[in-house]
Amino acid sequence: MTPSAARARGGPAGAVASAPGGLRRRRGAVWYRSWRLYAGAAVAVAVYVYGWQVTQIRLGELWRGAYLIAPFASALASPDVFVRDNPTVRAAAPFYYGGESPPAAPAAPGPALRLSRAAGAIGDRVTATGAGFPPDRSGVLWWENQIGQRQRLAAVTTDRAGRFSATFTAPEVQGTHNLVSVEIVTGAGPLRLSPTFFVVLSRMVETVFLALMGTTMGVVFAVPCSFLGAKNLTGHIPGGRGVYALTRTVFNITRSIEALVLAIIFTVWVGLGPFAGVLALGVHSIASLGKLYSEAIESIETGPIEAIVATGASTLQVVRYGVVPQIVPQFIAFTIYRWDINVRFSTVIGFVGGGGIGFVLQQYINLLQWRQAATALWMIAIVVAALDYASAVVRERVV
Amino acid sequence: MDSAILRIEHLTKVYPDGTRALDDVSFEVARGEFLVIIGLSGSGKSTLLRCINRLIEPTGGAVAFRGRDVVAASRHELREIRREIGMVFQQFNLVRRASVLTNVLTGRLGYVPPPWALANYFPPALVDRAFGSLERVGIPDKAYARADTLSGGQQQRVGIARALMQDPALILADEPVASLDPAMSHSVLRYIEELNRTDGITVICSLHFLSLARRYGTRILALKAGRIVFDGLPAEIDERRFKDIYGEEAVEVEIS
Ligand SMILES: Nc1ncnc2c1ncn2[C@@H]1O[C@H](COP(=O)(O)OP(=O)(O)O)[C@@H](O)[C@H]1O
Ligand SMILES: [Mg+2]
């Protein structure tokens, strides 16, 4: 309807026609008179009110729960990466429960630990004094039970004369032949990587390989399938349109299932572990790579192929010089892109039992081992960012 | 051996959708000619050129190149025929991502053993020759550039260098300058003319503009709806014939 026609007819029909576009707006119909505006606003309010309720948004929890997550925030600044083996000086003295008294220890030169009593019962107050230690050093007073398990009693610091004294309560333990020991740190040992670091590293390696195997599985199956999903290839063969439609439909349906859901299904099928993750990533990659490859094949220009055929080239030569240069760089670019996504994804696939670093990360979080969790998170961040960068560089080169 | 390098008899092409693109076309091309084919778009110029090297299968009629039957040729014979016929295209038809040098070398594929393609191997002598071809068209410095970084005129010169690699007896050029501006058009056509005059390569070139056809052609053949409506010297096309070919409304324009 032209503006003049709308105006000529006037009345309600003209008003309806005026609503969507400025050009057709009837004179006098200003925006705040439009009922659609109010209806739209009312719908929007209803949608967000319901959304707020259904997702249980309670902003106050962000404050109330802050103390729970605070240790994690500070752990991020001190991940469990390095440990030091510091040299210590040790001394010990026995403390027996159950009425028995320990044999008297022969006096020896050097650092010595003395207890205010050598026998007693759970709950007794005992004072430990040390002498002959290096001056102005700190250390820890330990309780060691009959089978060598130890628990911390107190932190101690030696004075200028190399003495200290600390009072503790005899703890509740099994067995009667206990030992009280002290370890005074005398210097700073060399830094070395922590056991956590090696656990996290080996899981990260597993993660990267999980992504590699999943991507490879995707490529191996997607390449042949992509030819079936390319319109320009299937158009010429009998029944080709059906093959094309079927391939593309399978791609689309498979792609629409999140890889995390696939991972859960595969853990049921092949059991917990990285293999389930590989299968989940693989199946998801087949579908998404297949679609991208098919589109790359469909975008092949026929001109250069025609030109090479015209030179008297054989089919092999035409494929090598006319087809391959047109699709291979794109295939490589799409594959690297997919590998990127898969590395990122394989870091969480462990959460549902699909192996990789996600598995240990989840454990650390559940056990509130924040410094270890921080180690895993930093590892993920650094490795993913590095691979991201590397793949961007490679992609830049080939395309 | 007779003087005709190409002999076409009763050539007909009917596309699967029923379009009669060529209708009983017959003519001969003498060695060394610069034959220009003119006609409105849709008159069958591209179809005719592609039937000569069988990029399009003719529906009927005969094509003889240097006395050899092109239509009846086996796959192997057809490759041997094609490698002696260079082709230049309106859209240049270079492999965009490949280097200029590789594009030029593909002109020689009809002569090298196909398995070499697997290793992307061309003997050094051929590489030298490719540089020679690029020198002929004035762009040896572009050898290692990616084809799609060149200007249109440069890309078409790469197309000519590729055809030159074939050592062709005949060059088919399908509206080689239709995508170029007038100055570039002359530059490109002069390179083709050079090959015709200096190397004695026969040229069949379709052109949209009569002025270009007059300037470069030694003979002009006009197509209209798949039929030959004129075959003669450039000077013989007068007002009457021009309107026959291009329609009553058409006005001849000069390409400077
Ligand atoms: N692949 C094809 N299928 C059907 N009709 C075609 C095809 N290619 C060309 N034609 C038709 O054949 C006629 C001649 O086309 P063409 O040889 O391209 O003419 P020109 O090159 O002179 O513009 C036109 O009517 C065109 O529409
Ligand atoms: Mg054409």
Closest CA to A325 of B123, B99, B134, B87: B99
Residue A266 lies in a domain: yes
Closest CA to A277 of A344, A182, A326: A344
Question: Which of B53, B102, B114 is opposite residue A317, by nearest beta carbon?
Answer: B114
Domains of chain A: total? 2
Interface test with A, best of B75, B109, B172 (most A CBs within 10 A): B109
Residue A21 lies in a domain: no
Classify A154 in phi/psi space as left (phi over 0), alpha (psi -120 to 50) or beta.
beta
Residue A236 lies in a domain: yes
pLDDT at A8: 40
For residues B94 and B155, the answer to whether their CB atoms sit within 8 Å is: yes
B43 lines ligand 1 (CB under 6 A): yes
Q: Which of A188, A208, A243 is the last residue of a domain?
A: A188
Has residue A290 got a pLDDT over 70?
A: yes
For residues A298 and A252, the answer to whether their CB atoms sit within 8 Å is: no
Task: Lowest mean pLDDT of A28-32, A34-38, A197-201, B136-140, name the range.
Answer: A28-32
Per-residue pLDDT of A307-319, as tens digits, reads 999 999 999 999 9
Per-residue pLDDT of A337-373, as tens digits, reads 899 899 888 888 988 888 889 999 999 999 989 999 9
The nearest CA of chain B is from the CA of A318 a distance in Å of 9
- A371: domain CATH number is 1.10.3720.10
pLDDT at B254: 66
Cα three-residue angle A23-A24-A25, rounded to 5 degrees: 95
Has residue A2 got a pLDDT over 80?
A: no
Residues A334 and A380 in one domain: yes
Residues A184 and A203 in one domain: no
Structure tokens at B197: 């005059």
- pTM of this structure: 0.72
Predicted confidence band of residue A20 (pLDDT cuts 50, 70, 90): very low
Structure tokens at A317: 């030569």
| Measured distance CA(A311)–CA(B108) in Å, rounded | 7
Q: Which chain B residues are within 8 Å of A303, Cβ to Cβ? A: 89, 91-93
Helices (H), chain A: 3-9, 11-18, 35-54, 60-64, 66-77, 195-228, 231-234, 240-256, 259-270, 274-298, 302-310, 315-318, 324-346, 357-366, 370-398
Range of the domain at A159: 86-188
For residues B83 and A312, the answer to whether their CB atoms sit within 8 Å is: yes
Interface test with B, best of A300, A316, A317 (most B CBs within 10 A): A317
B21 lines ligand 1 (CB under 6 A): yes
* B43, B51, B55: residue to mutate for ligand 1 pocket, most atoms within 8 A of CB: B43
Predicted confidence band of residue A13 (pLDDT cuts 50, 70, 90): very low
Residues A334 and A244 in one domain: yes
Structure tokens at B237: 């096309």
- Residue-wise over A253-276: b if at least 16 C-beta within 10 A, else e? ebbeeebeebbbebbeeeebbbbb
Residues A183 and A200 in one domain: no
Structure tokens at A87: 């040299």
Residue A61 lies in a domain: no
Structure tokens at B246: 């291009």
Residue A22 lies in a domain: no
Classify A75 in phi/psi space as left (phi over 0), alpha (psi -120 to 50) or beta.
alpha
Residues A136 and A238 in one domain: no
**CB half-sphere exposure, A172, CA atoms < 13 A:** 0
Residue A347 lies in a domain: yes
Burial status of residue A329 (CB atoms within 10 A of its CB: 0-12, 13-18, 19 or more):
middle
Mean of per-residue pLDDT scores for chain A: 87
Residues A138 and A275 in one domain: no
| Measured distance CA(A292)–CA(A327) in Å, rounded | 11
Nearest CA to ligand 1 atom 27: B42
Per cent of chain A over pLDDT 70 is 92
Per-residue pLDDT of B7-32, as tens digits, reads 999 999 999 999 999 999 999 999 99
Residues A108 and A200 in one domain: no
Mean pLDDT of B169-189: 94
Q: Which of A138, A165, A188 is the last residue of a domain?
A: A188
Q: Which of A146, A164, A188 is the last residue of a domain?
A: A188
Complex confidence, ipTM? 0.94
Structure tokens at A300: 């092949």
Per-residue pLDDT of A202-213, as tens digits, reads 999 999 999 999
DSSP B169: S
| Measured distance CA(A135)–CA(A157) in Å, rounded | 9
How many whole angstroms from B44 Cα to the centroid of ligand 1?
A: 6
pLDDT at B165: 97
- A127: domain CATH number is 2.60.40
Residues A152 and A244 in one domain: no
pLDDT at A351: 87
